[in-house]
Amino acid sequence: MSYKVLLFDLDDTLLDFSANEIDSLNKLFQLHGYTFSDELFQVYNSVNKQLWADYENGNIVLDDVLNSRFSETMLRLGKVVDGVEWENQYRELLGNGCQHMEGALEVCQSLSVSHRLFVITNGITQTQIKRLKQSGLYEFFEDIFDSQSIGFQKPSKEFFGYVMSHIKDFNIKEALIIGDSLNTDIKGGLLSGIDTCWINKKLQKCSAEIQSTYTVTSLVELYNICTLVK
């Protein structure tokens, strides 16, 4: 029995979020009269990562992440800004970014002929859908599951339980999670009993605690895995 349902992470798996993030932040800070430097990015990145970690650990809600990350960043620099306004502007800029990861269009187009494709993302509903449509990938996916709509984020059992219960004729033995993050995608697969494929493009060190069913370094390697007879 081969895999029939492919659950794709979006950011840094199919779309290059890192490139989009830098471009959008640069435009945002320029809009407000600031030069976007490496130092400024490090401050923002530190604040943003901590807020997302607090959210994933259940300590704060999603709105706290989005509406305070820019105000907290600028506060560290001695500036008071409207965090909600900055977030709305950033969200608009981010939604216009649709840079592909290498091979994403070809792989999705090809596998969608023989497989059922779905997106699983911790991103924001409106932003992720907009990016998918602008990237040309949207048409290849049967549905999009995002943490904002579901109310839980990867890697929680609740997130994947929702996904499994909302895919018609879902068979856990025929499903494969594909993503770049050990802590969200691969761990989520382990918690929910779904096979996983780790896209380890950056050649990160493997984890003894979080073991993926498969590990590849590029999307094109999925062709062999997705047709395996198990």
Q: Give the pLDDT of residue 147.
A: 92
Q: What is the pLDDT of residue 229?
A: 59
Q: What pLDDT digit, counting tens, does each position of 38-68 carry?
A: 999 999 999 999 998 888 788 998 899 999 9
Under the banding of pLDDT at 50, 70 and 90, the label for residue 230 is low
Sequence-distant (≥ 6) Cβ neighbours of residue 110 within 8 angstroms: 223
Tell me the per-residue pLDDT of 133-191, one tens digit each, with 9 for 90 and over: 999 999 999 999 999 999 998 999 999 999 999 999 999 999 999 999 999 999 999 99
For the annotated catalytic residues, the residue numbers are: 9
- pLDDT for 76 beyond 90: yes
